C-alpha cells in the first residue's frame, strides 16, 4: 500500500506543481544508484535497513543496535548501529587530530576550496537526476512522513544550495579585506578563519536539508565536523554521505555518529570541539550552552507568529498560506505558524471557515497529515483541553485523534487543530506561558485584535522567548513599518504573500535577538556560523633612517 501511496503522490505532484521537475519512472531505477545501500520503497519490517557510523574514514557498526519503528505501522524497519560509551574514543581521537587552524584556511591548503567547489558541482548534478532526487524524496517519506511534494522540496532546496557553491563560490566565502596601515609597509588584513574540530547536531524533521547545508558550510570553511542526526531519520544522511563520497568528498573529512543524547554529550565534553551547531529543542540547547561554555551556535525552538493587518486582500490565498504554514509536514517545522493574530477586519470574513475546510481535506493516505514523531496524541489533546479551560476560548476545528490508522502509540496522530483564545486572556500572566508553549505538531492558536490593541499584540511579541520566523500579512507600508520596527524574528516575511514557513537556499533562515543564534543557507550564514575573524597585520618596514631607541614609556 505504501508504494501505491507514494507513487500516487508523486504523479499528483508532477502534474500540479510545474515549479518542480516533473518525472515518472519505475522503482527499478534505484538499482542503478551505485552509492545507495538501500532501496527506499523496500525498507520495511520484512526487509529492515541498517545504518552504520563513519569514523576516521571507515564505515563501522556497533555492538549496540537501536531498532527504529516504522512511523506508519509500528514495524521494526531500521536497525541503527548506535555508539555507546565504550565506542566514542575513535571519534574523540578523530576530532582531536584536527588542529585549531583547521584542515584548510587562506594560508593552508587553499586548493581544498576549489576541491569543495568541484564536490558541490558533482553533488548538485547528482541530486538533479530524477532517479536520485526520487530516491531521497521517498527515503525521507519513509522516516519522516510528509507529502511527496514537501519531501521533494527538501531535496530540491538541497540541490539548489549545492549549485550555489559550485566553481569558485567556496573560495569566495573566504574573501579577505585589507586596510592601509599607519606607515609604509604596514597593512592589516581581515580573514575568515575556521574553528578546526566542530560538531553538528540536527533534528528529525528535515533529515536531508538541515544536515547537508550545515555540514557543507562547515567543510567549505575548513573545519573537521562530526555529524549527529536524530537516529529515527539518520539513514537519509548516511546515504547522502555515500553520495558525497562518490562526488569526491574525502572519507576522512567527516565523521558520522549515531548515538543517544547522553553519549553525544559525553563525546562533546571529551573531544572538546571548538564550536557546536545545534538545531533542536530549546531545553537541550540551553544545556549545551552551559556544558560547552558558550561555544555553540543555536537554531532552537520556534513559537512563530503571523499578524494579519487591517487591509483585507486575497482571502482564499491567505487561508491557503495559513493552512500550509500551520499543517504542512503535520506542523513539524520549527517555522510552523503557532499563533495567528487576526485584525478585526479579517474576523468579519470567512477566513476561519476556509482554513477549516482546507485543514479537513488533509488525509493520511497522501501524507498531507501524518504521524507526529516527538509528541504523543494524548499530550497534544491534553494541551488542547487545558487551553479550552481559559475563559472565552473555543475549539475552531480538529481536536480529535486521527482515525483508521496503524501509527504506533509512541507517536502522535491528531487532526489539524486550531484553538481560539481571546487576546486579553493570552496576555494574563497565568495563561501566557501555556498559550505560547510550542507544540511540535498540527496545532495553532488563533486570536483577534482591534486597531487600538496593536500595542498589546506587539507586547505579546516582546514577551515571547524564541524569535525564529514571523509573517506580517499586509500591503500597508505604515503598518509593516510599525510591526517590523518593534519585533525581532530573524526570518520575517512581510507583505500580502507573507508566510512563516519556507527555508529556501536563497535567503537567511535563523533566529535573531540571541548572540548564539545560527543561520543556514546563505554565504552570510556560513561565514557567521562556521568561521571566525582573524586579523593579520603585515609590518614589513622599512625602519625610518636614523632611527634611535626612544625613551621608555
pLDDT given for residue 302 in this prediction: 79
pLDDT given for residue 503 in this prediction: 85
pLDDT given for residue 190 in this prediction: 98
How many angstroms separate the CA atoms of 464 and 473, rounded? Answer: 20
**Model pLDDT for residues 402-433, shown as the tens digit of each residue:** 999 999 999 999 999 999 999 999 999 999 99
DSSP class of residue 552 equals P
Catalytic annotation present for 247: no
pLDDT category at 5 given cuts 50, 70, 90 is very low
**Model pLDDT for residues 331-362, shown as the tens digit of each residue:** 999 999 999 999 999 999 999 999 999 999 99
Catalytic annotation present for 334: yes
Best CA proximity match to 472, nearest among 311, 357, 362: 311
pTM over 0.95: no
Q: What is the mean pLDDT of residues 64-80?
A: 97
Find the catalytic residue in 299, 329, 438, 453: 299
Show Cβ contacts of residue 440 under 8 Å, excluding neighbours closer than 6 positions.
205, 331, 332, 336, 372, 374, 375
Q: In Å, how far are 48, 61, 192, 308, 539 from 534, measured between CA atoms? A: 49, 40, 6, 44, 16
On the CB side of 48, how many CA atoms lie within 13 Å of its CA? 17
pLDDT given for residue 282 in this prediction: 86
pLDDT category at 169 given cuts 50, 70, 90 is very high
Best CA proximity match to 380, nearest among 417, 423, 425: 417
**Which cell goes with 492?**
520575517
**Model pLDDT for residues 451-467, shown as the tens digit of each residue:** 999 999 999 999 999 89
Q: What is the mean pLDDT of residues 369-378?
A: 97
Of 281 and 75, the one with more pLDDT = 75
Find the catalytic residue in 82, 154, 334, 438: 334
Q: How many CB atoms lie within 10 A of CB 465?
A: 13
**Model pLDDT for residues 499-513, shown as the tens digit of each residue:** 999 889 999 999 999
Strands 224-229 and 296-299: unpaired
Q: What is the mean pLDDT of residues 143-167?
A: 98
CATH 3.40.605.10 region(s) of the chain? 91-300+523-532
Q: Which helix (H) or strand (E) holds 456?
A: helix 454-463
Structural class in CATH, domain 305-494: alpha beta
Mean of the per-residue pLDDT values of the chain: 93
**Model pLDDT for residues 462-483, shown as the tens digit of each residue:** 999 989 999 999 999 999 999 9
pLDDT given for residue 301 in this prediction: 74
**Model pLDDT for residues 293-322, shown as the tens digit of each residue:** 999 999 877 799 999 999 999 999 999 999
DSSP class of residue 167 equals T
Q: What CATH architecture does domain 91-300+523-532 belong to?
A: 3-Layer(aba) Sandwich (3.40)
CATH 3.40.309.10 region(s) of the chain? 305-494
Best CA proximity match to 333, nearest among 445, 469, 156: 469
Q: In Å, how far are 33, 199, 445 from 267, measured between CA atoms? A: 34, 10, 39
Residue 180 burial by Cβ neighbours in a 10 Å radius (0-12, 13-18, 19+)? exposed
Q: Which long-range contacts (CB under 8 A, 24 or more apart) does 12-19 make?
A: 12/148, 12/366, 13/147, 13/148, 13/149, 13/152, 17/149
Amino acid at each position: 500500500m505504501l508504494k501505491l501511496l507514494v507513487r500516487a503522490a508523486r504523479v499528483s505532484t508532477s502534474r500540479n506543481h510545474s515549479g518542480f521537475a516533473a518525472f515518472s519512472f519505475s522503482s527499478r531505477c534505484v538499482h542503478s544508484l551505485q552509492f545507495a545501500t538501500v532501496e527506499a520503497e523496500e525498507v520495511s519490517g520484512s526487509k529492515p535497513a541498517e545504518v552504520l557510523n563513519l569514523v576516521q574514514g571507515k564505515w563501522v557498526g556497533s555492538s549496540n543496535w537501536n531498532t527504529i519503528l516504522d512511523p506508519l505501522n509500528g514495524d521494526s524497519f531500521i536497525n541503527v548501529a548506535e555508539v555507546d560509551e565504550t565506542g566514542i574514543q575513535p571519534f574523540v581521537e578523530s576530532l582531536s587530530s584536527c588542529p585549531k587552524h583547521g584542515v584548510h584556511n587562506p594560508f593552508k591548503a587553499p586548493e581544498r576550496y576549489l576541491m569543495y567547489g568541484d564536490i558541490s558541482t558533482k553533488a548538485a548534478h547528482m541530486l538533479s537526476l530524477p532517479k536520485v532526487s526520487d530516491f531521497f524524496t521517498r527515503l525521507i517519506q519513509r522516516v519522516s512522513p510528509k507529502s511527496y511534494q514537501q519531501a521533494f522540496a527538501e531535496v530540491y532546496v538541497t540541490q539548489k544550495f549545492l549549485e550555489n557553491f559550485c566553481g569558485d563560490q567556496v573560495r569566495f566565502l573566504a574573501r579577505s579585506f585589507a586596510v592601509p596601515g599607519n606607515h609604509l609597509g604596514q597593512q592589516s588584513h581581515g580573514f575568515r578563519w575556521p574553528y578546526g574540530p566542530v560538531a553538528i547536531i540536527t533534528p528529525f524533521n528535515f533529515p536531508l536539508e538541515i544536515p547537508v547545508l550545515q555540514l557543507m558550510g562547515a567543510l567549505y570553511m575548513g573545519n573537521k565536523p562530526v555529524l549527529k542526526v536524530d537516529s529515527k531519520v539518520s539513514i537519509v544522511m548516511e546515504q547522502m554521505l555515500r553520495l558525497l563520497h562518490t562526488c569526491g568528498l574525502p572519507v576522512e573529512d567527516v565523521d558520522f555518529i549515531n548515538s543517544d543524547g547522553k553519549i553525544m554529550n559525553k563525546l562533546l565534553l571529551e573531544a572538546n570541539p571548538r564550536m557546536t551547531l545545534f538545531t533542536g529543542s530549546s531545553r537541550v540547547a540551553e544545556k549545551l550552552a552551559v556544558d560547552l561554555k558558550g561555544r555553540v551556535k543555536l537554531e532552537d525552538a520556534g513559537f512563530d507568529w503571523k499578524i494579519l493587518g487591517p487591509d483585507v486582500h486575497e482571502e482564499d490565498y491567505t487561508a491557503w498560506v495559513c493552512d500550509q504554514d500551520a499543517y504542512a509536514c503535520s506542523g513539524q517545522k520549527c517555522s510552523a505558524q503557532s499563533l495567528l493574530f487576526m485584525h478585526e477586519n479579517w474576523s468579519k470574513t470567512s477566513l476561519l471557515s476556509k482554513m477549516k475546510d482546507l485543514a479537513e481535506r488533509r488525509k493520511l493516505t497522501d501524507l498531507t497529515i501524518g504521524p507526529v514523531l516527538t509528541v504523543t496524541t494524548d499530550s497534544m489533546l491534553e494541551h488542547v483541553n487545558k487551553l479550552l479551560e481559559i475563559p472565552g476560548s473555543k475549539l475552531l476545528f480538529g481536536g480529535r485523534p486521527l482515525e483508521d490508522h496503524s501509527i504506533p502509540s509512541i507517536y502522535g496522530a491528531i487532526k489539524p487543530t486550531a484553538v481560539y483564545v481571546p487576546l486579553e486572556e493570552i496576555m494574563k500572566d497565568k495563561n501566557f506561558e501555556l498559550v505560547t508553549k510550542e507544540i511540535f505538531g498540527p496545532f495553532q492558536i488563533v486570536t483577534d485584535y482591534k486597531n487600538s490593541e496593536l500595542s498589546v499584540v506587539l507586547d505579546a511579541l516582546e514577551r515571547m522567548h524564541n524569535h525564529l520566523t514571523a509573517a506580517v500579512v499586509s500591503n500597508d507600508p505604515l503598518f509593516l513599518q510599525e510591526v517590523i520596527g518593534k519585533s525581532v524574528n530573524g526570518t520575517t516575511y512581510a507583505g500580502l504573500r507573507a508566510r512563516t514557513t519556507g527555508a529556501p537556499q536563497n535567503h537567511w533562515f535563523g533566529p535573531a535577538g540571541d548572540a548564539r543564534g545560527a543561520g543556514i543557507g546563505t554565504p552570510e550564514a556560513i561565514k557567521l556560523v562556521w568561521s571566525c575573524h582573524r586579523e593579520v597585520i603585515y609590518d614589513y618596514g622599512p625602519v625610518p633612517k636614523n632611527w634611535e631607541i626612544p625613551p621608555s614609556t
